[in-house]
Structures are given as C-alpha cells and as structure tokens.
Amino acid sequence: MTALPRELLVVEGARQIRDGDLVIVGTGLPLLAATLAQKTHAPGAKLVIESGVMFPKVVPTPVSVVDPRLMHGASRHGSLFEALGGLVQRGLVRTGFLGGAEVDQYANINSTTVAGKRLPGSGGANDIASHCSQVVILTDHERRRFPARCGYVTSPGFLGGPGERAKAGLGPLRVKVVTDLCVMEAEDSALTVTALMPGATAGAVLENTGFTPAFADSLDTVLPPDPEELRLLREEIDPACVYFPERIAR
C-alpha cells in the first residue's frame, strides 16, 4: 500500500509518542496520530483532551473536542480547567500536539489572525506551548504556512530567537514540526530540517517554506508506514475518510 502525503505525517506524528506518555491532543490529525500510537507501539499512552476528557478509548471519527465519540470509555469527563490547569500548567503532561495556520522559523504558532481574517484562536494551545516540555506540530507543508515571522504569536515557541523563551519566564521546550514533506526540529533555536519524507526533496522543502531553514548535516529519511499502520489508519481510525477525503478520490 502506498501512503498519501498526509498519512505520512500522521504516522510520523504517532511515532513521537512513547508508551506510558501522558499526551494532550485536540481533534484532527493530532488525534489520529495519538490513536494510532495507542493501537501500535504505545498502548499505555494516556490521552487528555483539552475539553477535560481523560483517557478515552476513542471510536471513529470525532470532529470536535465535544464530540461524544471522543468521550467513549473515558476515565473522567472533566473540565477545561482540569485539563489545562490541573495537568498542563502543573507540568504533568510531557507532550502536546498542536496545529496552526502559521509556524515561523522560531516555532511560534499563529492561530488567531492571518491577513485580517479572524481564526479560531488559542483554545488550549498557548497553555500547551507554554508548559509542555515537548510540542509536536502537525501541518501540511505550504509556503503560506511557514513565514519567517508569524503575523501574530498565539502560542510561543522560541519567540524572537535563542534565550527569549527563558526571558519570558517559560521553561525549556523541544519542538518537532512534522509535515508531508519533512521533519523540522528546534531547541531554543531556529527550526532545522532533520529528515525528509519518502519521495520528498530538499528543493521541495525550500520552495514551500517562507524562510530558509538549516538542514542537518546527516539528513535522515522518514521510514514509510508499514501495511498494518496504514490498515489501522484507513479501516479503524478514519474509515469514513473524514480527514482524508483524497482517499475517496482514489
């Protein structure tokens, strides 16, 4: 089976979760990645939903953080305050999954306003970016999504550059940006391309990025999904192609 570009980024996103991790996710591609991790290499991963749903057994395929399918088998139906205040802000959640309309060279995220158009805003994203020790950003790789500087910083990465996060009183952070073209990483620095997706090239990354990222000296290629990962994604996690309408076109 050949993976679609967005399937590649979901599978690689799932690989960022370790067995036993406490992970906060929203709906969309991050939820698919977290559910795939639970069904493969990280059965002990515990999911927290920013709306307050704790440790659910997700059934296909939620479309919002208040979708009942997201609440199936949960240990607790809590509150936003419990998820963000009781867990994230206390530093108990290691990994947070985020998306955004823009991600700049210092891993800041804009989900508030682009070109005068109002977007949904932060939700719990600012809390996650401010208090988790690792953030994984899943997004399609388009030039408009990767400006040199975000027009508005909704969720902080490394703000204006090295050292600025600490000056703002925020703790250390490791960022991974997983796209359908590559993986980029940063720790108190600008984003560096560390791996390419199967079939992607450095030229394609540069062409679709609004800044010029550094490339690691030893550039890896992401392992393609195995048949079981794709089967789970297609048949059990998103069988109706809610997040992969391009599969229907095939």
Q: Which residues are catalytic?
A: 50
Written as one string, the DSSP assignment of 12-45 is HHHTTPPTT-EEEE-SSHHHHHHHHHHHTT-TT-
SS3 at position 185: strand
Both tokens of 242, joined, read 């809610």
Residue 187 in contact with residue 210, Cβ under 8 Å? no
Q: Which residue has the tokens 């508005």?
A: 152
Beta-bridge mates of residue 47: 23
- Among residues 80, 104, 128, 99, the alpha carbon closest in space to that of 31 is found at 99
